[in-house]
Each structure stands twice: as C-alpha cells, then as structure tokens.
Amino acid sequence: MENGVGRQILDAYKRCEFRALVQLYLDVADDHEARANHDAACYYWTVAYVFALQEGMDCAEELRQKLAAHGREY
Amino acid sequence: MERPTVTESTLSAVLQPVATARGLPNAHYVDPEMHQLEREKALFDNWVGVAFGKDVREPGSAMPVDFMGQPLLLVRDKAGKLRVFQNTCRHRGMILIEEAGPIRGAIRCPYHSWCYSLEGKLVTTPHVGGPGINIAPEIVREELGLIEIRSHVWQDIVFANISGKAPEFGDYADTLLSRWREFEKPVYHGGPESSFKLEVNCNWKLAVENYCESYHLPWVHPELNSYSKLEDHYHIINSGAFSGQGTLVYNPRLDDTGRKFADFDGLSAKWDKSAEYIALFPNVLLGVHRDHTFAILLQPVDHQTTIEHVEIYYAQQSSLGDDVADLRQKNAAMWRAVFEEDIFVVEGMQRGRNGLKFDGGKFSPAMDEPTHTFHHWVATQLSK
C-alpha cells in the first residue's frame, strides 16, 4: 500500500471515520484488482465491506457481490 | 464454596398461611450465595423487568444492559420490533456493544469484526477462511446468529425471561393484565424530570416488600397519609404473580388554579378516585392512576445493593405540553420524595437482618398479607 494512502487510513481510524475508510480501502482493493492481485483485492474489499455494513452504506451489497464472484463471500 | 441448601424445613415456615407463617430467613438477605440461588430461581426463571422501551425508541437504537451479571443488548430492529440479545459475540465471546447509541447498519464485533444484522443474523465473518476469504465450511452462519433472549414489552417495560423457562408473559401476568385492561393504551413518558434512579443499600426483595403493603404509610409517609389514610387502602393479592395495595381517595392537587393532567380515555368510574400500586414479581413495581402511571424496575446489584429505576408516564400526549411542565415537575418531585422516604426503612431492614436471632419476622394477618404473598412466591420459586 502506498504510504500516503496508508497514512490517510490511519488518520481515518483515529477519527473513527468509517465511511472514509470504506472509500480508502475500496480504492486500494480496486488498484490491486486492476493488477490482477485477486487475493489482495479481496482482502481490502473485505475490510471495506465490513465498514460499509457497519455504516449501512448502499455499496455494501456491491462489495458483497464482488467478493462472492471470487468465492470469498456468500 | 457450596451453595446454601434450601431445605423444606427452611421454607415450610414461609409457606404457611399468613397467620402462622414466618418471613424468609436472614440468609435470603445477607448471604451472597443465597442471592445467587435466588438470581437463578426467582429472577432468571421468571419475567424480569430489565429496561424501558423509550430508551431504544428508533429503529437501529441499541442499548447494553447488565442485569445481575447477564450482558444483554436491547435493539430496535428495522421493523420496529424491540429485541433482547445476549450482548456476546458468537465467535470469541466478546462484548458487542459497550454504549447506548444508534446502529447505522450492522452490529460489528470490535474484536474480529463478525457482523450481525439488527435482527441478530450473522451477516459476515471477515477473513474466517484466511485473509480475504470470508467463508468456511465449518462456519455455518445460520447456526451462529446472536442468542435472542425471550422478551415482552408491556406498558413500555421491557421484560426478559433469561432462562427461557417461564410461561408466556400473557399467561404469567394474565390476572394483572385483566385487572388493568382499562390502562392498555399508549402511555407518554414525561421527559427528563420523570426519569430518575435511587441506589439503596438493601436486598432487592425489601424494596418489593415495602412497596406492596400500605401498613407503613401513616408512619413513613405522613404527608401522603394526610389525605390518603390507612383505612382508605385495600390489599391486592395474587399468589401466582403479584401483590400490592390500592387507595380509594386518589385526588391529585398539583395546582391551586385547577390545572390537571388529562385522564386515560374510557376509564370506568372506579378510577375516578382509585389508584393501585402493585409489585409484579419478581422486580417490577407499578402504579396506575387515572392520569398517569409509573414503573420502578429493581436492579439487584448484589445481595445488599439495589438500584431503583423510576419512570413516570402520562395518559395523554397533551400532558407533555409546556403548559403543564411545572405540574410534571411537581408530580415527579412528589413521587421522588415518597420513594426517598422509604429508603431508611428498606436500609434499616437490611441492617436488621444481620441480627442472628431474627427469625424471619411475624406477619400481621390483617395488614401483611401482600408481603406474605411475596415471601410465599419466593419460597415457591426456590422449592421448584
């Protein structure tokens, strides 16, 4: 993970900005997916998915589908 | 340490008719081990009041409650149904929610982030099959939802049956529900001043015993007695679930100009002057009047400490208006003063039960039947 994004993620954790965390992890995951790093992408989508569920965000269902398409979620 | 045994001879004296019975022996008040036994048999096996619905009003509201060491989680689900869960993650037993507040989406365990819906379903188990793999054949989500505790909401009181062994609430409280059927209407909480709690240094049962009898009124509540005399009261007895007392002269005068709270709709004439105060065993103390009700939930902290959670409700929404805010204040202050007057008595009885030669006490057949009814009920629970 790029240092700048890593710092942003830590800052978001400190401030409990979970919606921001969803977007940050989603970006990181999509970047890995674009480079065919499927395992890493699923890892970061998972984190984004958990926080999206917690926050009741619409993108949770989309994330579930991405993970399910890779056999990582029901 | 071995638990104290509850022998037939110990309880047989309590189970006698009121004229010949003795009260529960000292151990039921001063022995922590006996407290644990009562926790299981008298409280967890029955319907205990644990909270008020007003505190989890909106869908997504959640509130943790510790009831005698049991971690409970009250959640208002998306459909508006109030549910009581064990506040414990099915994975490693972590406490799920530490503070009351809204849940925007899922209940997320702060430890490994297993997520549950407001209805208690296990929604996801992140990395459970390895990093980025959220499924595993051994993790059957349908079997791992939150443990739901039996619950029932009546008059905004959230009742829970922790062991799951009690009959249906409607069957348990049937006689009381019938008696007060005229009050089966929406109630309106009076707001911040109508909500208070008192911590008292006594066993929870002493609060019940003091509440359900009118014998003490002239001595402990002289102001109350100035208009509601001992002879104006009657006993209320139901050996299966409750006891209490009623008055025939309820006539609130909170204001010299004649302002008053609005009454419940459709009450029969009986309630023009009557009010009733009933302890629904084991731990809910209730009062009904034509214009307001209240409930006191007893939270036993240990064998000699109890928190009384008091909430006052009004019969009509109009009673929540600014024009009667001062009356609500006065009413709440009046009840608070009455309940505070009782503290020295229940705390004194608690200390008195350290007297080794106290034999449980002798009941007055004329005046103590409600108290004996409660002792009989406790003894019956412990005999099961």
Residue A15 has pLDDT above 50, yes or no: yes
pLDDT-derived band of residue B5, with 50, 70 and 90 as boundaries?
low
Q: Does A63 touch chain B (CB under 8 A)?
A: no
Asked if pLDDT for residue B152 goes beyond 50, the answer is yes
Scanning the structure block, which residue is given the tokens 């978001």? A12
Structural domain spans, chain B:
49-161, 186-383
> Would you call A54 and B105 a contact, using CB atoms and an 8 Å cutoff?
yes
CB distance B115–A46 less than 8 Å?
no
DSSP B323: G
How does pLDDT run across B257-301, given as a tens digit for each residue? 889 999 999 999 999 999 999 999 999 999 999 999 999 999 999
Nearest to A64 by CA among B39, B135, B182, B147: B135
Average pLDDT (A47-54) is 98
Asked if A53's CB is within 8 angstroms of B108's CB, the reply is: yes
pLDDT above 80 (res B46): yes
**Which pLDDT does position B258 carry in this prediction?**
86
Percentage of chain B surpassing pLDDT 90?
92
Nearest to B111 by CA among B125, B101, B99: B125
Tell me, yes or no, if the two domains B49-161 and B186-383 fold the same way: no
Inter-helix orientation angle A18-34/A38-55, to 10°: 160
CATH number of B186-383, picked from 3.30.1490.190, 3.90.380.10, 3.20.20.70, 1.10.10.10: 3.90.380.10
| Residue B189 main-chain phi, psi, to 5 deg | -65, 140
Q: Which residues in chain A are closer than 8 Å to B105, comparing Cβ atoms? A: 52-57, 60
B105 with A60: Cβ contact below 8 A:
yes
Interface touch B126/A39, C-beta < 8 Å: no
**pLDDT number for residue B349:** 98
Q: What does the pLDDT look like over B111-131, one tens digit per residue? A: 999 999 999 999 999 999 999
State yes or no: pLDDT of B2 exceeds 50: no
Distance from CA of A24 to the nearest CA of B (A): 16
Confidence category of residue A17, pLDDT binned at 50, 70, 90: very high
pLDDT at B7: 63
Task: Kindly tell me the burial class for residue B283, based on how many C-beta atoms sit within 10 Å of its own C-beta (0-12, 13-18, 19 or more).
Answer: buried
A50–B104 C-beta distance less than 8 A = no
Query: Over chain B, what is the mean pLDDT?
Result: 95
> How many helices (DSSP H) and strands (DSSP E) are in chain A?
4, 0
Cβ <8 Å between A56 and B106? yes
CA B272 to chain CA mean position, Å = 27
Q: Which residue of B has its CA nearest to A41?
A: B132
Residues of A in contact with B131 (CB under 8 A): 39, 43
- Is A67 close to B134, i.e. CB distance below 8 A? yes
Give the closest of A43, A54, A55 to B132, CB-based: A43
DSSP per residue over B106-170, as a string?
-EE-TTT--EE-TTS-EEE-TTBTBTT----TT--GGG-SPPEEEEEEETTEEEEESSS-SPPHH
Q: How far apart are CA B105 and CA A53, in angstroms?
A: 6
- Residues near B111 by beta carbon (within 8 Å), at least 6 away in sequence: B89, B91, B92, B94
Q: Which residues lie across from B242 on neighbouring strands? A: B238, B280
* Integer Cα distance of B266 and B251 in angstroms: 18
Is the predicted pLDDT of residue B228 greater than 90, yes or no? no
What would you measure as the largest C-alpha separation in chain A, in angstroms? 33
State which residue of chain B sits closest to A56, comparing Cα positions: B105
Is residue A60 predicted with pLDDT exceeding 50? yes
Indicate yes or no: CB of B106 within 8 angstroms of CB of A53. Answer: yes
- Residue B9: predicted pLDDT: 67
A55 close to B (CB below 8 A): yes
Distance from CA of A31 to the nearest CA of B (A): 15
Residue of A nearest to B141 (CA): A74
User: Using beta carbons and an 8 Å cutoff, which residues of B are at the interface with A?
Assistant: 104-106, 108, 113, 115, 123-124, 126-127, 129, 131-135, 141
Report yes or no: B132 and B74 within 8 Å, Cβ to Cβ.
no
Residue A32: pLDDT band by 50, 70, 90 thresholds?
very high
Write down the CATH number for the domain with range B49-161: 2.102.10.10
